[in-house]
């Protein structure tokens, strides 16, 4: 590996790495295994070359793909941290890392735009949705007639307060890091991770007691897809911040070099903002006028 001190430029020429190809293989196996697993759960077949892949592999192929993908992510990011500690992340490289994270969050924004679009399309043009399922939308109203919705001022409001608090604690941790206060950094991260875990627990509890199911209506399908994917992003963000906590406990991050934590904070604030849109558009506006389930 060429030394960072001997370079005559600000760019990082990356050494050959096995992680891109291994990540691609893991992602493919994960996707293929997920299809087999879902077909197996439905009791259906998935024929390929005369073999029922669903019955043969069940969930094992999915598990193998998941392990390969997670290991590749861990090893790849560990190399990135090592490269940063060796001085390869110059000012120009750091700018590019920030651009990369901004583009990733922008792609996530468009991902959620698709689910909001689906929800608003079904809700604003409910009469047209009759063509998709003639057993619902009697009268072409939204939410479907006879459907009880979740009370937005109960668990959803509780989760909103939790995420807003977590946004303040991660900001506190960031300011503590900038001022060299490692104790405040660790305390802020511990509180943020705990609040993220609490949010996930409350959402799982809410799903278990929801008065409608995913397959019951287009309302349930769009509701669970939008809020469920957000819940998955909260889980990913919580793991992201947990890794930052472990790194902080190990003495990582300095006021000058801490982009790993900064990226986690950006992602967490993005998750907060998306939830506010979900809370107001899906829980409050989307369920307006329907009977509430308690």
Residues 106, 72 share a domain:
no
Residues 281, 198 share a domain:
yes
Residues 247, 121 share a domain:
yes
pLDDT for 218: 85
Please report the DSSP string for the chain in residue order.
---STT-SSS---PPP-SHHHHHHHHHHHHHHHHHHHHHHHTT---EETTEEHHHHHTTHHHHHHHHHHHHHHHHHHHHHHHHHHTT---HHHHHHHHHHHHHHHHHHHHHHHHHHHHHHHHHHTTTGGGGT-TTS-TTS-SSPTT--EE-TTTHHHHHHHHHHHHHHHHHHHHHHHHTT-HHHHHHHHHHHHHHHHHHHHHHHHHHHT-SS-TTT-HHHHHHHHHHHHHHHHHHHHHHHHHHHHHHHHTT---SSS-HHHHHHHHHHHHHHHHHHHHIIIIIIITTTTSPEE-
Interior CA angle at 266 toward 262 and 104, to 5°? 105
In a domain? residue 9: no
pLDDT for 292: 83
Contact 28/63 with Cβ under 8 angstroms? no
For residue 37, give its domain range.
17-88
pLDDT for 131: 53
Q: Which of 32, 56, 88 is the last residue of a domain?
A: 88
pLDDT for 138: 47
In a domain? residue 241: yes
Q: Which of 57, 88, 119 is the last residue of a domain?
A: 88
Region of 137 please: left (phi>0), alpha (psi -120 to 50) or beta: left
Q: Which of 88, 107, 134 is the last residue of a domain?
A: 88
d(CA 207, CA 228): 9
pLDDT for 285: 93
Interior CA angle at 193 toward 192 and 198, to 5°? 95
Predicted model pTM: 0.87
pLDDT for 30: 94
Per-residue pLDDT of the chain (294 residues; tens, 9 = 90+): 444 555 677 777 778 899 999 999 999 999 999 998 998 888 888 888 888 888 888 889 999 999 999 999 999 989 988 888 888 888 888 899 999 999 999 999 999 999 999 999 888 876 665 455 554 444 567 888 788 899 999 999 999 999 999 999 999 999 999 999 999 999 999 999 999 999 999 999 999 999 998 887 888 999 999 999 999 999 999 999 999 999 999 988 999 889 999 999 999 999 999 999 999 999 999 888 777 887
Residues 258, 171 share a domain:
yes
| Sequence-distant (≥ 6) Cβ neighbours of residue 108 within 8 angstroms | 233, 270
In a domain? residue 1: no
Residues 112, 80 share a domain:
no
Task: Give the CA count within 13 Å in the CB-facing half-sphere of 191.
Answer: 19
d(CA 133, CA 140): 11
Residues 221, 189 share a domain:
yes
pLDDT for 139: 53
In a domain? residue 2: no
Residues 219, 107 share a domain:
yes
Residues 27, 128 share a domain:
no
Residues 275, 177 share a domain:
yes
Which structure tokens are listed for 250? 């190990």
Torsion, Cα 127 133 137 140, to 10 degrees, reads 10
Q: How many Å separate Cα 179 from the centre of its chain? A: 30
């Amino acid at each position: 590996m060429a030394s960072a001190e001997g370079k005559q430029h600000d760019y990082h020429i990356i050494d050959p790495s096995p992680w891109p190809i291994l990540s691609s293989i893991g992602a493919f196996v994960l996707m293929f295994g997920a299809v087999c697993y879902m077909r197996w759960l439905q009791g259906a077949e998935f024929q390929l070359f005369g073999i029922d892949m669903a019955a043969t592999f069940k969930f094992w192929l999915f598990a193998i793909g998941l392990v390969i993908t997670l290991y590749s992510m861990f090893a790849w990011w560990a190399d990135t941290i090592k490269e940063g500690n060796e001085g390869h992340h110059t000012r120009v490289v750091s700018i590019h890392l920030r651009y990369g994270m901004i583009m990733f969050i922008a792609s996530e924004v468009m991902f959620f735009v698709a689910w909001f679009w689906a929800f608003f399309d079904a809700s604003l043009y409910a009469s047209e949705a009759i063509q998709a399922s003639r057993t619902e939308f009697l009268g072409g109203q939204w939410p479907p007639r006879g459907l009880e919705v979740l009370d937005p001022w109960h668990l959803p409001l509780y989760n909103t307060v939790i995420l807003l608090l977590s946004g303040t604690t991660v900001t506190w941790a960031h300011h503590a890091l900038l001022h060299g206060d490692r104790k405040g950094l660790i305390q802020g991260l511990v509180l943020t991770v705990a609040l993220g875990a609490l949010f996930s627990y409350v959402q799982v509890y809410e799903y278990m007691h929801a008065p409608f199911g995913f397959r019951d209506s287009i309302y349930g399908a769009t509701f669970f897809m939008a809020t469920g994917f957000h819940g998955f992003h909260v889980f990913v963000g919580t793991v992201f911040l947990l890794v930052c906590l472990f790194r902080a406990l190990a003495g990582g991050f300095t006021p000058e070099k801490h982009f790993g934590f900064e990226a986690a904070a950006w992602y967490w604030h993005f998750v907060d903002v998306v939830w506010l849109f979900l809370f107001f558009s899906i829980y409050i506006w989307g369920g307006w006028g329907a009977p509430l389930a308690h």
